[in-house]
Chain A
Amino acid sequence: MKQWKRLGMAVALSAACGALGMAGPAAAQLKYDGVTVNVVTFTGPQIAEPLQRRAPDFQKLTGAKINVITVPFSDFYNKLLNDFATGTNSYDATVFAPQWMVDFIEPGYLQDITDRVKADAALKWNDIGPFFRDFSATYNGKVYTIPLDGDFQMVYYRSDLLKQANMAPPKTWDDYIAIAKAFQGKDLDGDGKPDYGSCIAKKRSAQSYWMVLSVAGGFLQSKGTGQGLFFDTETMAPLVNNEAFKAALKVYVETTKYAPPDEINLDVGDTRGLFTSGRCALTLDWGDIGTLAVDPTTSKVQDKVGAVVLPGSSKVLDRASGKLVDCTKETCPYAVDGINHAPFAAFGGWSGAINAAKDQKVKDAAYDFLSYMSQPEQANVDVTIGKTGFNPYRTSQFESLDLWLKAGMSKAAAENYLGAIKDSLNSPNMVLDLRVPQNQRYEQVVLDTAVARLLAGEIDVDKAATEIETGWNEATEELGKDAQLKAYRAALGVK
Chain B
Amino acid sequence: MQYDVAEPRGRLIDERRTDFMTWADRVSPAAFIMPAVLVILALSIFPLIVSVYLSLARVKFEKGGVTVTFIGLLNYKKLLFGTQQFHLIGTLMPITPLGWTFVSIAVALLALWLVTTARHGVASIGLVGRLLVAVAVVALVLLVAATASEGGQLGTIGVTLTYVLIGVCVQYGLGLGLALLCVQNLRGRGFFRVVFFLPMMITPVGVAYTFRMLTDTTKGPFAPLWQWVGLGDFAWAATAWGARVAVMIGDAWQWTPFMFIVLLAAIEGQPREQVEAANVDGANHWQIFRFITWPAIMPVTITLVLIRVIEAFKIVDLPNVLTNGGPGIASESMTLHAYSAWRALDIGGSAAIAYMLMFIVTFFCVAFVNLVRARPAGAATGPQR
Contact = CB atoms under 8 A, between A and B. Distances in A.
A264 B238 contact: yes
B327 A264 contact: yes
A74 to B, nearest CB: 6
Interface string B192-229: 00000000000000000000000011100000000000
A78 B83 contact: no
A35 B153 CA distance: 55
Contacts of B292: none
A78 B235 contact: no
Contact of A262 (B86, B216, B325, B342): B216
A478 B348 CA distance: 12
A83 B165 CA distance: 38
B351 interface: no
B329 A85 contact: no
Interface stretch (B21-29, B61-69, B170-178): B61-69
Interface in A439-487: 440-441, 444-445, 449, 452-459, 467, 470-471, 474, 478
A204 B66 CA distance: 29
A449 B329 contact: yes
A107 B86 CA distance: 34
A9 B58 CA distance: 60
B233 interface: yes
Interface string A198-242: 000001111000000000000000000000000000000000000
Given A452-B327, A456-B326, A458-B91, A86 B65 contact: yes
A108 interface: yes
Interface in A399-447: 438, 440-441, 444-445
A452 B326 contact: yes
Interface string A108-129: 1100000000000000000000
A458 B330 contact: yes
A81 interface: yes
Residue with the highest number of chain A CB atoms closer than 10 Å, among B237, B238, B325:
B238
Interface string B41-69: 00000000000000000100111111000
Contacts of B86: 467
B346 interface: yes
Contact of B217 (A261, A264, A455): A261
Given A265-B238, A453-B328, A453-B329, A471 B63 contact: no
A392 interface: no
Contacts of B323: 265
B227 to A, nearest CB: 8
B345 interface: yes
Contacts of B240: 456, 458
B328 A471 contact: no
B98 interface: no
Interface of A: 74-75, 77-78, 81-82, 85-87, 103, 106-109, 203-206, 260-265, 438, 440-441, 444-445, 449, 452-459, 467, 470-471, 474, 478
8 contacts: A78-B343, A86-B65, A205-B340, A262-B217, A264-B238, A265-B326, A455-B327, A456-B327
- Ranked nearest first, the 5 interchain pairs of A and B with the lowest CB-CB distance are A456-B327, A456-B328, A262-B235, A107-B63, A453-B328
